[in-house]
Copies of this chain bind each other. A is one copy, B any other.
């Protein structure tokens, strides 16, 4: 994602532009990927950036709320942020910890169950757990 596209996305989602938010977005939204807050901080440090830990967490929470990135719940010890915003599912390799995207079209989700009384749907998360085949 280019700088221009990021600015456009911020604007469309009502996120005020700041240098720090742009730095975080430039790393996370660079390409389709799944990163933890800590990985993002490491990469910021690698590029010499001084954005604080608090701001990185604030920013990632904001990105999650505003739909600029997606928070994936797959590892109980850390939150993973997904730069791919469109609807999709995931493979989760328990051996490597890697996440891989599954396009919506690749899964056929037929019948959906009735929702509990007085609730409305927010979304469906599908995680297919896999492991390396030991030959």
Q: What's the tally of chain A residues with a CB closer than 8 Å to chain B?
A: 39
A125, B126: Cβ atoms closer than 8 Å = yes
Contacts of A111 in B (CB 8 A): 106-108
Cα A110 to Cα B107 with chains together (Å): 7
Cα A6 to Cα B128 with chains together (Å): 29
A113, B107: Cβ atoms closer than 8 Å = yes
Cα A125 to Cα B75 with chains together (Å): 13
B124, A128: Cβ atoms closer than 8 Å = yes
Contacts of A54 in B (CB 8 A): none
Closest 4 CB pairs of A and B: A108-B110, A106-B113, A108-B111, A122-B129
Task: Point out residues on A near B: beta carbons under 8 Å.
Answer: 71, 73-76, 78-79, 91, 93-94, 100, 102, 106-116, 118-133
